[in-house]
Amino acid sequence: MNRLTRAVLLRLAVTFVISMIFGFAVSEITYRLSRSDMERIPEVLTIVVPAGTADQISQGQPGPQLPEMKFFEGDQIVVVNQDQVSHQLGPLWIPPGATSSLTLDRPSQYNLSCSFQPTETVGIDVQPRAKTSDRVVGALAIGLPTWGLLALYAMVAAPLPGKTPAAGSSA
Amino acid sequence: MQKNVILAVIGALAVVLLVWAAAFARPYVLHGSEIDPPVPAPPIQLSRADGSGFDLAARQGRVALIFFGYTSCPDICPTTLADMKRVKAGLGSQAEAADFVFITVDPQRDTPEHTQSYVAGFNPGFIGLSGTEDQLQPVWKAYGVFREVQPGATALGYLVDHSTRSYLIDADGNLRLTYAYGTPVEDIVKDIRYLLKEGER
């Protein structure tokens, strides 16, 4: 490997490290300034449908109390069905005596049928989550273009060793 | 010197790849509504159009995607069967280890022959099942299938309101997952692949 190649690789390596540090710093500062509940770890909401719920609902009585159905991507709903008949909560179907779970893997808003609420519907709001991968992608999205520009600048700003001056410049 | 430079470049790339892998590496999460712990799939024993019997319990070692509908259905059933066709295509050669089963909720009009002929129009490998109402009633009940005939709903005859979820049975004969109508085909394909791989272990 000659001096020119070594010098090019060295500049590429140095500018890469500087660019990635810069990209990481900008991405992290932006993330920390704008973070909210979106970054909390995924939670599990467990709902128990007690025995006799279907009979209660058919008699017009209230079913189990449901919390606010607002979630972040990655949260999980678990429904424990202690009743003698199957129940449904939107996409969740729970055979009698069984437990079903659903991981909310996409941001969305549903208005779902629910067999254990007298209104027979329930709204679910799934918000997007800021993931670690988003931060890595953010750092790379800033770092890689910066690297390109910085590397180009480093090649042009200081002459590389062993490069002969351009013919026109010697006049 | 040149060795150090190469090592530095390789090291920097390795760090980026490791961070990337750590950020994205996650255990597989099933997409449907998961029954956990799984429960044994309720029995399904019905006659097929060719006179043979279909016994779900006898098909262990295979994964089964099951849907309840009817052949005169104007919207949900053909859409779901079209999705099933795409699921089968998406599985490629792995589809040989999976059954795609359509069970009628309208036995008055859907004979086993008519049901099989209807599903074969989507894919010749699909299994269409029917029977008498007495044979089907316990199956509908066990799978929580809602059905309600709407008499005289169209000029072509009555419609049947029915539940629209699909059921996925694993290779051990357990009811593992249910899917709401409209679940992306890719999600179902990934789940079936996961269950097939799990069945091999």
Nearest-angstrom CA–CA distance, B100 and B87? 10
Nearest-angstrom CA–CA distance, A101 and B32? 9
Q: Are A106 and A119 in contact (CB under 8 A)?
A: no
What is each CA distance from A99 to A83, B90, B92, B181, B183, in whole angstroms?
A: 11, 30, 32, 21, 21
pLDDT of residue A168: 46
Is A9 in contact with B30 (Cβ distance < 8 A)?
no
- Matching residue, tokens 């704008």: A34
Chain A partners within 8 Å of B8 (Cβ): 13
- What lies within 8 Å, CB to CB, of B153 at 6+ separation is B159
Helix-helix angle B2-24:A132-157, to 10 degrees: 160
Helix-helix angle A3-34:A132-157, to 10 degrees: 140
pLDDT tens-digit profile of B138-147? Answer: 999 999 999 9
Chain A: give the shortest CA distance to residue B120, in Å.
Answer: 28
Which A residues in the span 37-76 are in contact with B, Cβ-Cβ below 8 Å?
none
b/e string for A93-105 if b means 16 or more Cβ within 10 A? Answer: bbbbebbbbbbbe
Reading the block at residue A132, the tokens are 């670690």
Is A99 in contact with B37 (Cβ distance < 8 A)?
yes
Reading the block at residue B185, the tokens are 């085909």
What is each CA distance from B124 to B85, B101, B116, B119, in whole angstroms?
A: 10, 12, 9, 7
Choose from B3, B19, B181 for mutation: most chain A CBs within 10 A. Answer: B19
User: DSSP readout, B71-133?
Assistant: TT-SSHHHHHHHHHHHHHHHHGGGGGGEEEEEEES-TTT--HHHHHHHHHTT-TT-EEEB--H
Give the pTM. 0.74
pLDDT tens-digit profile of A137-159? Answer: 888 999 999 999 999 999 888 88
Point out the residue among A5, A92, A105 whose CB comes nearest to the CB of B31: A105
Reading the block at residue A101, the tokens are 């779970």
Nearest-angstrom CA–CA distance, B71 and B156? 13
pLDDT of residue B19: 73
- The reply to whether ipTM tops 0.95 is no
A4 or B91: whose pLDDT is higher? B91
Largest Cα separation within chain A, whole Å, is 101
What is each CA distance from A88 to A116, B70, B128, B190, in whole angstroms?
A: 8, 22, 26, 24
Chain A partners within 8 Å of B33 (Cβ): 91-93, 100-102
Q: What is the pLDDT confidence band of residue B103, given thresholds at 50, 70 and 90?
A: very high
Nearest-angstrom CA–CA distance, A54 and A38? 36
Is A149 strand, coil or helix?
helix
Mean pLDDT of A98-119: 84
How many Cα atoms sit within 13 Å of B26 on the Cβ side? 10
pLDDT, chain B, mean = 91
Nearest-angstrom CA–CA distance, B198 and B192? 10
Mean pLDDT of B141-154: 87
For chain A, the 3-state helix, strand and coil shares in percent, each to the nearest 5, are 40, 25, 35
Q: What is the pLDDT confidence band of residue B81, given thresholds at 50, 70 and 90?
A: very high
What is each CA distance from B34 to A102, B180, B187, in whole angstroms?
A: 6, 12, 13
Window from A98-107, B22-31, B133-142 with minimum mean pLDDT: B22-31
Is B174 strand, coil or helix?
strand
Window from B29-43, B68-82, B145-159 with minimum mean pLDDT: B145-159
Helix-helix angle B76-91:B185-200, to 10 degrees: 50
